[in-house]
Amino acid sequence: MNAPTFRQASLVPHQLVTHRLFTHWLPVAAARPGMSAPWWQWVASKDSLTTRLTVAGDTKAFRVQLLRQTVGFPLRDEALALGIAPRRYAWLREVALCVGNKPWVVARSVAPLSQLQGKGLEGLGERSLGSWLFRQPDLVRGPLYATRHQPRFVVEQSALLADSVWGRRSVFQHSGLSLLVQEYFLSSMADDLDLPSR
Ligand SMILES: C=C(O[C@@H]1C=C(C(=O)O)C=C[C@H]1O)C(=O)O
């Protein structure tokens, strides 16, 4: 008699936690039905976003604006994506990718601090992390996930008004380093490139 009651009780919190952590990010293919073809080209691409933005900006200058680079704890869902404990120190980097002085994308990258040794990323400053990553010959990119939620870190950290159309994220692996890169495409980019609202 007791067993079913016990099973039910333990199932409910598990479902709640799963729901809270996973509803925001969908495998990119599952988000595709709600996404226009032009946005799919941006969100599902696996090559360097830095390069794509530079090309799309044409004569307008591309620039990485550093919003914050620090050591801290990852968010719970970031730790989960990296497969690490939430209370493990991580390198956190938040940037705006600007084209012609307008932020088109905001990005937050997270890596376990212990894996960063000898990579020289601390001094990256306003150089593109993507340019560095895509120069690594052993680079492997994990599956892409997409979201419609707004980037929380921008609201918390800066005066920048970031109105995201689509967000995406994936984990890069390179010689013992796992790096979660989360990128949010802003409505200013949609305006400048004449992209649909979703
Ligand atoms: C992953 C890339 O790197 C981009 C550059 C970033 C940076 O400098 O912090 C962060 C995320 C990306 O948007 C890329 O270009 O594809």
Question: Does residue 52 lie in a domain region?
Answer: yes
Residues with CB under 6 A from ligand 1: 48-50, 64, 93, 95, 97, 105, 107, 109, 128-130, 133, 181, 183
Radius of gyration of the chain (CA): 18
Cα(76) to ligand 1 centroid in Å equals 22
Q: Helix (H, G, I), strand (E, B), or coil: what is residue 185?
A: strand
Three-class secondary structure of residue 79 per DSSP: helix
- What ipTM describes this predicted complex? 0.92
Pocket test for ligand 1, best of 43, 46, 50, 64 (most atoms within 8 A of CB): 50
Angle at 74 between CA 157 and CA 146, to 5 degrees: 80
**Residues spanned by the domain of 63:** 25-193
10 found inside a domain = no
Q: Is residue 136 in some structural domain?
A: yes
Asked if 97 and 64 touch (Cβ cutoff 8 Å), the reply is: yes
Residue 37 φ/ψ region, left for φ over 0, alpha for ψ in the -120 to 50 degree band, beta for the rest: alpha
How far, in Å, is the centroid of ligand 1 from the Cα of 196? Answer: 23
For position 186, which CATH number holds? 3.40.1410.10
pLDDT in tens, the chain (198 residues): 333 333 333 333 333 334 344 458 999 999 999 999 999 999 999 999 999 999 999 999 999 999 999 999 999 999 999 999 989 999 999 999 999 999 999 999 999 999 998 898 988 999 999 999 999 999 999 999 999 998 888 766 555 667 999 999 999 999 999 999 999 999 999 999 999 999
Closest to 104 measured CA to CA, from 162, 25, 55: 162
Neighbouring-strand partners of residue 132: none
Assigned domain for 19 exists: no
The answer on whether 169 is annotated among ligand-binding residues is no
Q: What is the distance between the terminal CA atoms of the chain, rounded to a whole angstrom?
A: 51
Specify the number of domains making up the chain. Answer: 1
